[in-house]
A and B are shown apart, each in its own frame.
Chain A
Amino acid sequence: MQSRTAASTPRELRVREEVGLDVRALTRTIWQVAQAVLIFLVLGVLIWRGAQAMEYRWQWYRVEPFFYRVIDGEIIWGPLVKGLIQTLKLAAVSGFIAVSIGFLTAFARLSNSIAGRIIAKWYLEAIRNTPLLVQLFLFYFVLAPIFGIDRFWAGVLCLAFFEGSFAAEIIRGGITGVDHGQYEGADAIGLNVVDKYRFVVIPQSLPLILPPLTGLLISLIKHSAIVSVIAVSELTTAGLNLISDTFMAFEVWFLVAGIYLAVTVTLSISVSLFERSLNKTKR
């Protein structure tokens, strides 16, 4: 028969048992990595064989001056680096404007103002239901001459308004995602509207907004390639120019794609680190 009270073990004495190496999980992981490597190898071989079949002459040794040249001990940046800097500038400026537009539009949609809601809704529908390329032509051929702005700013504004419409929905989603009780808590202590959003709602919506907003900024960097059609001197334009000079289409496009990839991967890793530090302060 069991006794009425059980002997208790103090918490610090309850040692967790060693489980040992999980061999099955390890082999499964190795096999999955091997699958990925295998697929990349097959793709690489296909490209290489295809290029050989069309007698493409790889000239990787010629690509270094695309990045930089050293003349008399001085570094001269090549077209790809200059293009990258322009792309980053373009993306940074239009990203900043896009997020600002996003916040304005989100608040307009959430406001009591009928005019604000109608304007915001029309803006969203107009931008999202027309092709980006057509918008770019509108900005460059119609609005730029009217307002006297150059091609760089036409590109920046077009991208900003395009991505701004998506940013608006992300931000609105984040704001409405904050628990209703938080609004009531802020109201109950008598905060005014600005303080309520500044101290209570926005800080809590950031963890909801940041991940999709990172995705948006990454797609902004990628979409910025489209302004090459109005000859803004960014990375893709630099690539096009290099190809027409050197006919090294394969190398240049691989390089351009690689540079975009490096930038976007860096961005998403740094944002996820930032998010992690945000979460850390909360615990």
Chain B
Amino acid sequence: MLDATAKPLVEIKHMCKWYGEFSALHDINLTVAEGERVVVCGPSGSGKSTMIRCINQLEAHQKGTILVDGVEVKPGMKNIELIRREVGMVFQSFNLFPHMTILDNLILGPMRNRGASKAEATELAMGYLERVHIAGQAGKYPPQLSGGQQQRVAIARALCMKPKIMLFDEPTSALDPEMIAGVLDVMIELAEEGMTMICVTHEMGFARKVADRVVFMDEGEIIEIAEPQEFFSNPQSDRAQLFLSQLLGH
């Protein structure tokens, strides 16, 4: 755990969400401090993705409060894009814009949102492409790249907005096995540089390596929050024990 004086970047209090009558999230409480790396895991359908998608309001919650850097985000609020610019997000399916080159994908945000000039934005973008080891592909279109390369571009695109926090929604789940390591390496580097991160992932090796805390969810609730060492060696709840045994047991 980081020092207690670090300021909270994301505070979720008593948040609930329903799809119709179906309760997707129930009484979620989670505070993520600046510089903290949190890994969210749990069986599929447990609400992990839904929870982090509520933070930048890709999904609307119905009850409770969510604060991002001290600002409350509410469903249907005006200027939600101002908050989204502070919150980078990486998706399972990359969601790159296929009709634009890699470089254009990256400079769109800085140019339109911050009024950066094309030269400034290009310099910034090329810097991030270097960092994700993919600068040579700047002129190509997303479908010409492999899945792993596309996901690294997606990470660079999110970083171009200089976000205060990065959300990762199962970033390696759609990748071929030999592509996963490259993406995880980029995420580890990012974590080592002190980026605040919330990662939904099944990569337990990654969780062990970089996470400050592991959040275990099941059936729309947070069951357990622990440091990774604690969580993996000595899970408290039956459901976490079951989950870990299924994950590691073969």
B73 at the interface (CB under 8 A from A): no
A282, B56: Cα distance in complex, Å:
31
Q: B215 contacts which chain A residues (CB < 8 A)?
A: none
Chain A: interface secondary structure?
Answer: helix
Given contact pairs A181-B95, A203-B99, A188 touches B82 in the complex (Cβ within 8 A) = no
B112's contact among A185, A199, A282, A283, by CB below 8 Å, is which? A199
Q: Contact: B95 with A182, CB < 8 Å? A: yes
B88 at the interface (CB under 8 A from A): yes
Q: A187 contacts which chain B residues (CB < 8 A)?
A: 56, 58, 81, 84
Q: In the complex, what's the smallest C-beta–C-beta distance from B154 to chain A, in angstroms?
A: 8
Q: B98 contacts which chain A residues (CB < 8 A)?
A: 204, 282
Q: Contact: B109 with A182, CB < 8 Å? A: no
Q: In the complex, what's the smallest C-beta–C-beta distance from A27 to chain B, in angstroms?
A: 40
A53 at the interface (CB under 8 A from B): no
Q: Contact: A204 with B81, CB < 8 Å? A: no
Q: A184 contacts which chain B residues (CB < 8 A)?
A: 58, 91, 95
Tier of interface size on chain B? 20 to 34
| Residues of B133-190 whose CB lies within 8 A of A | 141, 157-158, 160-161
Given contact pairs A184-B58, A185-B95, A188-B58, A199 touches B81 in the complex (Cβ within 8 A) = no
A2 at the interface (CB under 8 A from B): no
Least CB separation from A204: chain B residue:
B99
Q: Contact: B161 with A282, CB < 8 Å? A: no
Q: In the complex, what's the smallest C-beta–C-beta distance from A213 to chain B, in angstroms?
A: 18
Q: B58 contacts which chain A residues (CB < 8 A)?
A: 184, 187-188
Q: In the complex, what's the smallest C-beta–C-beta distance from B76 to chain A, in angstroms?
A: 9
B129 at the interface (CB under 8 A from A): no
Q: Mark A194-236, 1 if CB is under 8 A from B, else 0.
A: 0100011001100000000000000000000000000000000
A190 at the interface (CB under 8 A from B): yes
Q: B81 contacts which chain A residues (CB < 8 A)?
A: 187, 190-192
Q: Mark B48-88, 1 if CB is under 8 A from A, else 0.
A: 00000000101000000000000000000000011111011
B56's contact among A188, A192, A195, by CB below 8 Å, is which? A188
A75 at the interface (CB under 8 A from B): no
List of 9 A-B pairs having minimum Cβ-Cβ separation, nearest first: A185-B95, A190-B85, A188-B89, A189-B109, A190-B84, A181-B95, A190-B81, A195-B112, A192-B81
Residues of B within 8 A of A (CB): 56, 58, 81-85, 87-89, 91, 93-99, 108-109, 112-113, 141, 157-158, 160-161
15 contacts between A and B (CB under 8 A): A181-B91, A184-B58, A185-B96, A185-B97, A186-B97, A187-B58, A188-B58, A188-B87, A189-B157, A190-B81, A190-B83, A191-B108, A192-B81, A195-B112, A283-B141
Residues of A within 8 A of B (CB): 181-182, 184-192, 195, 199-200, 203-204, 282-283
